[in-house]
Amino acid sequence: MDTIVKRIVSLVKTKNMVTTAAALKRLALLLTLITACNRVTEALECYACDSAEDSECATRPGQQLEVEECAKANDECVTSITAGLTRRGCLGRLYPNGYCAEPCEHCNTSLCNRDVYPTDRLRCYQCSGAECIDVSKRPQLLLPCPIYNAEDRCYTNIIHLSNTQRGCEHTNLPSDCPHVCLKCNYNGCNAELTVSETHCLQCTHNRNSPSPACLRTQSSELPAAKCALSNETVTSCVNKVMYGHQERCFLYRNDQTEVVQRGCSSIMGFYPTGELQECYGEFCNTDCLDIACATCNASTDANCRTGRNLKAEKCANGTVGCYACEQDTQLRRGCADADFHPGDQEACQLCRSADGCNQWSVRTCYRCNSLEHGDDCGTMTQPSEMGRSNCTSATELCVSTVISRLDLIHTVRGCAGEVPECTSNDPYCVRCNGSLCNTASTLWTEKALSVTSLSLLKSNSQPMKRQRLATTLLKYLWPFV
């Protein structure tokens, strides 16, 4: 610009300058260039938009908005609010008279009207649908309210379990928004989780399809603390809970129909009879059911050992197991409650699978080894001298067999779980179902006796030899004589 001005001055001062038409034309051209340069240098650019047509004019200014060049010199960029709507642009275009009523922000540098206005415009989460249920990890949904109102509020409208609507009260509040529609008045306040989940144990036990794990834990040991089921052994269900509501877990029990059911209230049936317990919280329906046990003593009740005609009686609260304890010929049954303590010499079986689970016959087998207890372990002529063993289950079989190792051949008796050598391929294995039933001589012993007897009867040897055979047989039959 300075170069052009100096050029004009030099032309004016030229002594030989002739004011001809050509010279004047040249001067006019230079003046036109000066005017054009001034116009290019001083042109002001402003963002131009209207939130009535594009809501981002209010919520995301400066992003993909049109830019206009102000036509007037000394113009300004403005951001104005009219009836809640936001307008941006050159003052001369929006307000030709030059007056912009408040609230209105003025600035005079290019693209200066790009900020959210007013600066205290409320920001709310704005969305709808399933993605709107949880906005804790969706910061892109937190935006300024498109319609400005100094008294604006954020709202949350829970439509149903799979649809939530959030927004600004003066922008898009539904006319049918119920009274439980949540409203608040600070930035980002409508961020509550509208649908949450709670979990409950879910299982069913009945007479035709028993499920002991639905009643109580099935550990072989009595619980050290309060008995409670776990979702590691029992399946679970899910309650979907809308904000402001509460769903429950339930435990239903009907002693007459022998039905027990656990589950979520959202899928709970109608139970006109029986006992129904409901609770609030994560996996709150885990309590074990109290148990009823057969209670008797064999010294006063002949049916106590056989388990016949025994009636189960309710145990004390918190009792989840029954017992059957045996010592020699003594047997007692009852509730494995806080007062239960096994005797020093007692062998006890605990159960918790069902009421009266301890009324079955207690399984006890003779336990001996002929290497330790002598040959009578094979012949069982004096079973009272043999040891006894309580099996792990009342239905476990008693067994006896003959084991041959190197030059040693011996008899072993006991519960099936204690004699692993007694298999289906073992010709000498004898099994029986009942307490103390494994008293029969083993097959090998019978064969040995038969061979010995036959040799003795057919022998034509000298008297001393016959006497030696007879002595051997007597010692085999009566080793303690």
Is residue 130 domain-shared with residue 166, that is, in the same domain?
A: yes
Domain presence at residue 396: yes
Is residue 188 domain-shared with residue 205, that is, in the same domain?
A: no
The answer to whether 357 and 312 are in contact (CB under 8 A) is: no
Domain presence at residue 357: no
Domain presence at residue 114: no
Q: Give the model's confidence band at 154: pLDDT under 50 very low, under 70 low, under 90 confident, else very high.
A: very high
Mean pLDDT score, 69-83: 93
- CA angle, corner 235, sides to 234 and 237, nearest 5? 135
Is residue 273 domain-shared with residue 212, that is, in the same domain?
A: yes
CA-closest candidate to residue 247, choices 180, 198, 203: 198
Range of the domain at 387: 365-444
Is residue 262 domain-shared with residue 302, that is, in the same domain?
A: no
Is residue 238 domain-shared with residue 169, that is, in the same domain?
A: no
The predicted pLDDT at position 347 comes to 77
The predicted pLDDT at position 25 comes to 57
Residues forming beta bridges with residue 399, ordered by sequence position:
414, 431
Is residue 177 domain-shared with residue 189, that is, in the same domain?
A: yes
Is residue 68 domain-shared with residue 140, that is, in the same domain?
A: no
Domain presence at residue 449: no
Mean pLDDT score, 373-397: 84
Is residue 206 domain-shared with residue 270, that is, in the same domain?
A: yes
Least reliable range by pLDDT among 220-224, 261-265, 323-327, 460-464: 460-464
Residue with tokens 């409320």: 122
Above 70 in pLDDT, residue 88? Answer: yes
CA-closest candidate to residue 315, choices 438, 238, 216: 216
Domain presence at residue 181: yes
The predicted pLDDT at position 148 comes to 95
- CA angle, corner 32, sides to 27 and 34, nearest 5? 95
Domain presence at residue 115: no
Domain presence at residue 84: yes
Is residue 167 domain-shared with residue 135, that is, in the same domain?
A: yes
Is residue 259 domain-shared with residue 317, that is, in the same domain?
A: no
Q: Which of 279, 304, 323 is the last residue of a domain?
A: 279
Total domain count, the chain: 5
Q: b vs e for 303-330, b when ≥16 Cβ sit within 10 Å of the residue's Cβ?
A: ebbebeebebeebeeebbbbbbbbbeee
Q: What is the pLDDT of residues 355-373, one digit of tens each?
A: 999 988 778 889 999 888 8
Domain presence at residue 11: no
Mean pLDDT score, 4-14: 47
Q: b vs e for 345-377, b when ≥16 Cβ sit within 10 Å of the residue's Cβ?
A: ebbbbbbbbbbbbbbbebbbbbbbbbeebbbbb
Is residue 268 domain-shared with residue 316, that is, in the same domain?
A: no
Is residue 308 domain-shared with residue 369, that is, in the same domain?
A: no
Between 61 and 342, the more confident residue is 342
Above 90 in pLDDT, residue 16? Answer: no
CATH number at residue 330: 2.10.60
Q: Give the model's confidence band at 477: pLDDT under 50 very low, under 70 low, under 90 confident, else very high.
A: very low
Mean pLDDT score, 397-401: 93
Alpha-helical (H) ranges within 406-462 are 443-458
Q: pLDDT > 90: what percent of the chain?
A: 49
